[in-house]
A = this chain, B = another copy of it.
């Protein structure tokens, strides 16, 4: 390992420390309390050091959001839905997503609530790109397949995929903001909500 490589690794390490500290502050105290000073003091470096690793504060927040997003994208992309019952499969898809977000509700909430300019384009907030977002397209494909297989009552699959997701977002928003800590109750609620949302779609109900 050359010296340059070692330096790169070292650099990456500090970058991650900054990232982590910032993330923790957001979770624990909220985005509005995030400050460069606070990050610096948390990692025991001077505030100015941070500017060697990130352009500015927004850059840090963006990186937090991107990490979050990419994890969600990755998990969702690699999700295996193998149940023989397709209704179960699609419900699991939604539940997986909901659970992913609710793993770190405070972070999501903090970012969601702060209208941060730099994050607006992301795939996971409810912006105008929503309709064209990957997750909607994927869901539409599934609905199309179910339709073909005669499982679904006749609907506009694209629209219903879209509706499904924005409803899910409504549920998530509410859960995130209500800050309910009771895991068991929450899981039951998730199940019931997905049932509620999907009920009318499948023929055999």
Q: Given A166-B173, A169-B173, A192-B159, decide whether A127 and B32 contact each other with a Cβ distance below 8 A.
A: no
When chains A and B are docked, how far (Å) is the Cα of A31 from the Cα of B115?
9
Identify which of B32, B114, B180 contacts A128 (C-beta below 8 A).
Answer: B180
When chains A and B are docked, how far (Å) is the Cα of A143 from the Cα of B178?
24
| A150: Cβ under 8 A from any B Cβ | no
- Min Cβ gap A122→B in Å is 12
Copies in the complex: 4
- Min Cβ gap A33→B in Å is 9
Stretch at the interface among A15-23, A84-92, A195-203: A195-203
- Min Cβ gap A58→B in Å is 13
Closest to A172 in B: B170
When chains A and B are docked, how far (Å) is the Cα of A29 from the Cα of B201?
40
Give every chain B residue within 8 A of A167 (Cβ-Cβ).
Answer: 167, 170-171, 196-197
Closest to A178 in B: B128
- Min Cβ gap A159→B in Å is 6
Q: Given A115-B32, A128-B179, A174-B126, decide whether A205 and B200 contact each other with a Cβ distance below 8 A.
A: yes
Give every chain B residue within 8 A of A114 (Cβ-Cβ).
Answer: 30, 32, 113, 115
Give every chain B residue within 8 A of A127 (Cβ-Cβ).
Answer: 177-178
Closest to A164 in B: B196
Cβ A166 vs Cβ B174 within 8 A: yes
| A101: Cβ under 8 A from any B Cβ | no
Question: In the complex, given contacts A126-B177, A169-B173, A199-B199, what are 8 additional A-B residue pairs having Cβ atoms less than 8 angstroms apart?
Answer: A31-B115, A115-B177, A128-B178, A167-B171, A170-B171, A196-B200, A197-B197, A200-B200
Q: 10 A-B pairs, CB-CB below 8 angstroms?
A: A32-B115, A110-B115, A125-B177, A126-B170, A128-B180, A130-B174, A166-B173, A167-B170, A173-B173, A199-B201
Q: Which A residues lie at the B interface, using CB under 8 A?
A: 30-32, 110, 112-115, 125-128, 130-131, 155-156, 159-160, 163, 166-171, 173-174, 177-180, 192-193, 196-201, 205
